[in-house]
Amino acid sequence: MQTGLNIAAGLTLAALAATGAGAREAPPKQVLMPEDAGARAFQEEVGYSEAVIHGDTIYLSGVVAGPLEGEEGMEPAFTRVFDHLTRTLERLGATWDDVLVFDTFHQGPMGPQLDALVPVKNRYIKAPFPAWTAVGVTELYEPTALVEIRLTVRNPAAGEE
């Protein structure tokens, strides 16, 4: 894997047949943790990674968006989230072109959120577009969040092995 990434080795998975015949070790799962010490401590306490790299796929944990005090509308929150996701993709050696799946989870009326989300998304995501599923939910982990964005990404480093 590329040097300079904040990636820690994770668990090694084994595919074992009951008889042991044909058993082989799967490639190790790797994780990406936040560079920020406070965010890393939180994720370690709660027990999740910013991203999991396994084979040719990278799974990014959801990133929440909500307006800060005094902000009008959701556009500034979405810009913060997309900037954060861009930095995470860069740390993984990926770009928005590598995004395969773009999932959004919306608390509250979805229409106004999508009206604010789409113009921001379109500044980052260009054709050919990833698959996108927008889901309405009753609650998100962060109480002030209105939207959570999760990505599934092609691992560009997988072709280098």
Q: CA 132 to CA 109: how far, in whole Å?
A: 18
> Quick one: 31-160 is in which CATH superfamily?
RutC-like (3.30.1330.40)
Asked which of 47-51, 83-87, 135-139 is least confident by mean pLDDT, the reply is 47-51
Which of 1, 16, 15 minimizes the C-alpha distance to 51?
1
**Mean per-residue pLDDT for 16-43?**
66
Which of 5, 3, 9, 62 minimizes the C-alpha distance to 35?
5
Q: CA 21 to CA 107: how far, in whole Å?
A: 49
Q: Tell me: the pLDDT tens digits for 61-75?
A: 999 999 999 998 899
**What are the sequence ranges of the domains in the chain?**
31-160
| N-term to C-term CA, the chain | 9
Residue 21 above 60 pLDDT?
Answer: no
In the numeric block, which tokens belong to residue 126? Answer: 């260009």
Q: Tell me: the pLDDT tens digits for 72-124?
A: 889 999 999 999 999 999 999 999 999 999 999 999 999 999 999 999 999 99
Count Cβ neighbours within 10 Å for each residue of 34-45 and write b for 16 or more, e otherwise: beeeeeeeebee
Which of 81, 88, 86 minimizes the C-alpha distance to 34?
88
